[in-house]
Amino acid sequence: MSAPAAVARTQRLLVALDFDGTLSPLVDDPMSARMAPAARDAVDALLAAPATVVAFVSGRSLRDLRVIAEHVDGSPILLAGSHGAEYLIPDAPADDALDPADTDLRDRLRADAEKLAEAAPGAWIEPKTFGFGVHLRTVSDPAAADRLRESVDALMAGAAPHWRRRQGHDIVEYAFTDAGKDAAVAHLRDVVGATAVIFAGDDVTDEDAIRSLGTEDLGIRVGAGETAASVRVGNIEELAAVLSTVARERVAAQQ
């Protein structure tokens, strides 16, 4: 029996999915990201399957994740934003309180990073709830991108050495919370009472969640890169095919 087929037979399944690069193609304008048609169909099939919960687990702020996921009030999809520092879970209270000292420092460092980014045409700073991201995808000069990375690293080492740094696809993120996708998956598993978890992602930050999975779970890596996942797929469409198979297996098991 294949790994997807085996996990599909669990009593209550949580399917936790990264968004950018996993369900949506990577794009130059992050707010224009949307689920690929095949991914949307697979998610819909999972939502229709018995005892199956779908969650999006993203480094995006919860506000931005709702926009790109086209998540409306009443949606059954659970959301974990900011690498698990923010959640949108039905009937669960939201904790939106932030320490003013943290947000004041965040805003000052964002502004400083924006000034540094002026030296690397094409770079831009993405505001995040718990920090900011330095986007380098549209920087045409690799040397300028490297210099910007180094200058922002130096800024953060001097002003906020306790902040967490994450490297992703053409982005470097800095945050004053240490939340990670491993903790997000653990929290979601507990909330929904899942007996097994499927987690899929395409980037370095997703490996935290993949490494945290148990023997009854399934980790899926989308695309290239070192991974602890037991299954690798080449692209979003191949992931969608795996997820659709899981949905069909779960429906068939109930018939």
Sorted by sequence, the CB contacts under 8 Å of residue 233 that are 6+ apart come out as: 220, 221, 222, 223, 239, 241, 242
Residue 18 annotated to the active site: yes
- What angle in degrees, to the nearest 10, is found between the helix axes of 236-253 and 37-48? 20
Burial class (CB in 10 A: 0-12, 13-18, 19+), 252: exposed
The neighbour count for residue 191, using CB atoms within 10 Å, is 17
Element of type H or E holding 233: strand 231-233
Catalytic residue among 18, 64, 182, 203: 18
CA geometry: angle 247, 90, 174, nearest 5 deg = 90
Query: What is the secondary structure of 160-209 as a DSSP string?
Result: -TTSEEEEETTEEEEES----HHHHHHHHHHHHT-SEEEEEE-SGGGHHH
Amino acid found at 132: F
Element of type H or E holding 157: helix 142-159
* Catalytic machinery residues: 18
